[in-house]
């Protein structure tokens, strides 16, 4: 099973809403990632978790709050987002965090902030 699942597929939220994105993998991977992708742009790294601990935060605004409850799950909590945060949010996982690791991406959540 090389699948990373993400829910929901689509999300529309107002600027005062609180919502969460969920990601799950059952490949036994110990590194998990959140990326943000705007149209016609490459994925931009937001956060990296390694062995359930936050390893990298790419200076992401605090309105995005990641959480890794266990080795299979990754959440991204959203609060007071701005319209410019509308994007495709991709989760990915790899065996470990390290050079040369293949990342497996989920299908993403398409977020629209009104």
Partner 1 sequence: GQQVMQIPQYQHVQEGEDFTTYCNSSTTLSNIQWYKQRPGGHPVFLIQLVKSGEVKKQKRLTFQFGEAKKNSSLHITATQTTDVGTYFCACYPHWRGGSNYKLTFGKGTLLTVNP
Contact residues: partner 1, CB under 8 A: 40-43, 45, 48, 50, 55-56, 58, 88, 90, 97-108
> Shortest distance, CB of residue 18 to partner 1, whole angstroms?
25
Of 42 and 83, the one with the shorter C-beta distance to partner 1 is 42
Angle at 47 between CA 84 and CA 83, to 5 degrees: 10
Angle at 53 between CA 30 and CA 22, to 5 degrees: 70
Of 9 and 84, the one with the shorter C-beta distance to partner 1 is 9
Of 1 and 99, the one with the shorter C-beta distance to partner 1 is 99
Burial of 46 (0-12, 13-18, 19+ CB in 10 A): buried
Contact of 9 with 109, CB cutoff 8 Å: yes
Count of residues for the chain?
Answer: 114
> Shortest distance, CB of residue 61 to partner 1, whole angstroms?
18
Of 78 and 90, the one with the shorter C-beta distance to partner 1 is 90
> Shortest distance, CB of residue 37 to partner 1, whole angstroms?
9
Q: Which residues contact 40 (CB under 8 A, 6 or more apart)?
A: none
> Shortest distance, CB of residue 14 to partner 1, whole angstroms?
25
């Amino acid at each position: 099973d090389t699948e990373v699942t993400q829910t929901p597929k689509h999300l529309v939220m107002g600027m005062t809403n609180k919502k969460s994105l969920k990601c799950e993998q059952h490949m036994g991977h110990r590194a998990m990632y959140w990326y943000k992708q705007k149209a016609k742009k490459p994925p931009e790294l937001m956060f990296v978790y390694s062995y359930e601990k936050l390893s990298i935060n790419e200076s992401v605004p605090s309105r995005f709050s990641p959480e890794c409850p266990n080795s299979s799950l990754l959440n991204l909590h959203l609060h007071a987002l701005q319209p410019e945060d509308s994007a495709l949010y991709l989760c990915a996982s790899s065996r470990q965090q390290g050079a040369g690791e293949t990342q497996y991406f989920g299908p993403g959540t398409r977020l629209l902030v009104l």
